[in-house]
Structure 1
Amino acid sequence: MKQALITGVRGFAGSWLAAELLNHNYQVQGIDISSAPVQNKAAARTLDDPAELAQIPVHASRLDDIMAVEDLLAGVQGGTIFHLAGTAFVPDTWHSPLQTLENNALVTVRLLEAARNTGWQGNFVFASSSDVYGNPDRQAMPLTEESPLLPESPYARTKLVSEQFLPFYCSDSLQTMIARPFNHSGPGQRDVFVIPAFIKRVREAIIDRHSSIVVGDLNATRDFSDVRDVARAYRIIAEQGESGEIYNICSGHQTSIKELIDTVQAVACSQLELQVDPELLRPEGSSQRFGDSTRLQKLGWAPQYTLRDTIEALWDD
C-alpha cells in the first residue's frame, strides 16, 4: 500500500487531499497543529466508509523544532510528503510578515532538512501558489510555469522562497516537485475567501430580504478550480510528476467577479442588484490572472468540475 504524509491535513485542501488519497488506496497520516480528527463532511462523503477520514492518524506539531520533526518522520514509513501547511489567507500576511516567513518558508526548509536527515525515501510535493506570478500585464496571459515571477505579498514571497530551497534537497532518494495552484474553492473553505464570501453575502441578503449587495471591482478576473480537481492534481503530480519540475494547477479560463456573482445568483435563484463601492476599487485598475496547465495535463490530469459545480456544492454544504 502506498504511503502518504500530509502537512496541514486538517485544513481545507488537506482534508480533501486525504480523501482523494484514501480513495486511491493510500495509507495516510497527517501533521497539523492539533491532533484532533480530520473533519470535512463533504470530503468524507466521497469515501465508501465516511468515518475513515476522521480515523487518519494526526501528529500534533507546528514543525518548529527540527529534532522533533526528525523524530516524527523517523516513525513514518517513507512514501510521499504532501506539504500543504502554512498561512493561506493573503491579507493576514501583510499584518504578520515575520510569522508568515516562519509558517511558510522556514517550516518548509525545516521539513526538507528533516526528510534528508532521516533518509526519507520518496517524493516531496510542495503546494506553492499562483501568487508567485504577481499581477502581470494582460499580454502575459495565460501564465505558464516559465512566466516571470513577481511576488507582491509576504505570502507570495514566502512561497517563492520555499520553492527556491527545494532544489538544494532534491536527490535520488528525495524527489521534489512544486505545485502552483490557482484560486480553488469547495465545501469546507472559510468564508473569508472569495467564493464562499459571496455565497454568504447573497444568502444573508436573501434571508434579510435585501434587494442589493455591495461589491468591488466586477471586472477583475481569476482562474477558479474546484478543490476536488486540485486534490486529484496533487496525487497525480506525486505519482506521475518529474522530480524538480513545477506544475500549474488551473482551469485555463478567466472568470470575472461579475460572472462569479451571476453564477452564485443563478444557483441561489436570486436577482440582487450589485452596487459598486468606489472605495473597494483598485487605483491601478482591474487585476487579471489565469494560467496554462498543459504540463499537468500531459500527466493525465484534466479538470472535471465546472465553476457552477463548485458553487452548487458550496451552497448545499
Structure 2
Amino acid sequence: MNPRRIFLTGARGFVGGHMLTRLGKSFPDAMVHSSAADITDRRAITSEIAAARPDVCIHLAAIAAIAEANRSSERAWHVNLDGTLNLAQAVREHVPDCLLLYASSADAYGGAFKSRVAVDEAVALAPLNTYAATKAAADLALGAMAAGGLRCVRLRAFNHTGAGQSDAFVVPSFARQLALIEAGRLPPVIRVGDLSPKRDFLDVRDVCGAYVDCITNAEVLAPGTILNIASGVPRQVGEVLQALLAAARLTDVAIEQDPAKLRPSDILLACGDSARARELLQWQPRVPWDQTIKDVLQDWRERLASA
C-alpha cells in the first residue's frame, strides 16, 4: 500500500514524534495530518476525519504512563477507551476503506506473564492495572468492530524506549539521573525501584518500523489482525541499569532502592513472541540495544544542557 493521506493521533507524544520522522522518510509523497482534536470530543474527531479522508489512520494518543492512569483513572478510561471508539466510529462512518492501526499494549496481557514464557497473540488478556485495562478494553472493542467490517490492525508493542521519552519510564529515569550526576547536579547516587524483573525492551524506532511495515503489507493483514511487537529477549532491569552505567562518564555511583519507586507486582518476566509479525511483515528489531542505551543517555545530556 502506498498511502496518499495519513492521519496520526498523538503526534506530540514520545512515539508520535518518532512516527512523524519515519513516515516522512517512508512515504515522502503522502500528506500526514497530525490531529489537533481532543480525542474525547467525538464531534471534533469526526469532523477531522471527514475533512482529512485518510487512507491510513495511526492511533497513538493515550494516557500511557501507568502511574498517571492510576492517579486519574476516569480520565484514562475516557481517553484510552472512549477516545479510541470515537475515532474508530468516525473512520467506519466516513472512510470505511481506511486502514486503522491501533497502538495496543503488551501490558494488556498482565497476569498471563505469570506463566514465565513468551506470550503470543492467542493468549487471553488479563490486565493488572488501570492503564492495561483501558488498553485491553479498547483492543477488544476494535476486534468486535473488525468483525463488523472495520479495517483495523492491533499492535501490542512491548516496552519501548528511546530519545524523547518521559522519565516516568524506567530507562529514561535511570538515564536522567546519570546525566544529572555527570553534570554535577546530583550526588553520585542513583535511586531505583525493583531491579530483578525481566522485561522485553525495544527501541522506539523499531516499533515505528512495525507501523510502516503494516502499511506496506496491508494487503496481507485481515481486519482485526493482532501483532505482538517484541524483541523476544528478556532483559533484567538491573542489567539495563548496568548498561547505562557503562555508557556514562562516571567511575563510582552508588545504587539505592527508593520505596517510592517500588510497584507491587509478581510479574518477574514479561516477554513476547513476535513470530506472526516476522511472518506477515518480515519485521524484526534492527536497532542494536547498545545503541538504544547510548541514545537515551545522550538525549538526557542534551535536554539538561539546554534547560
Q: TM-score range by the shorter chain?
A: 0.7 to 0.9
* 2:215 pairs with 1:213: no
Picking from 3, 16, 19, the partner of 1:17 is: 19
Residues 1-317 of structure 1: matches in 2 within 5 Å?
A: 2=3, 3-26=5-28, 27-30=30-33, 58-170=34-146, 174-208=150-184, 210-240=187-217, 241-270=221-250, 271-277=252-258, 281=262, 287-298=268-279, 299-317=281-299
> How many residues were matched structurally?
290
Letter in 1 for 2:20: A
Query: What do residues 179-202 of structure 1 show as CA deviations (whole Å, max 9, x unaligned)?
Result: 001110111111221111100112
Query: What do residues 191-218 of structure 1 show as CA deviations (whole Å, max 9, x unaligned)?
Result: 2211111001122223337343232222
Cα deviation for residue 243 of structure 1 reads 2.2
Q: Which has the higher helix share?
A: 2
Query: What do residues 60-80 of structure 1 show as CA deviations (whole Å, max 9, x unaligned)?
Result: 210233333222111113311
Cα deviation for residue 280 of structure 1 reads 5.0
Q: Output the TM-score relative to the length of structure 1.
A: 0.84
In 2, Cα distance between the equivalents of 1:79 and 1:284?
41
Q: Give unpaired runs (5+ residues) of structure 1.
A: 31-57
Letter in 1 for 2:195: L
Cα deviation for residue 284 of structure 1 reads 5.7
1:22 and 1:28 in contact (8 A); partners too = no
SS at match of 2:52: coil
Q: Do the aligned partners of residues 278 and 84 (structure 1) sit closer, same or farther apart at CA in structure 2, a change above 3 Å counting?
A: closer
Q: Output the TM-score relative to the length of structure 2.
A: 0.87
1:185 and 1:195 in contact (8 A); partners too = yes
Q: Give unpaired runs (5+ residues) of structure 2.
A: 300-307
RMSD: 2.2
Q: Which is further off, 237-246 or 95-104?
A: 237-246
Cα deviation for residue 277 of structure 1 reads 4.7
2:113 and 2:271 in contact (8 A); partners too = no
With CA pairs under 8 Å and 6+ residues apart, which has the higher RCO, 1 or 2? 2
SS at match of 1:213: strand
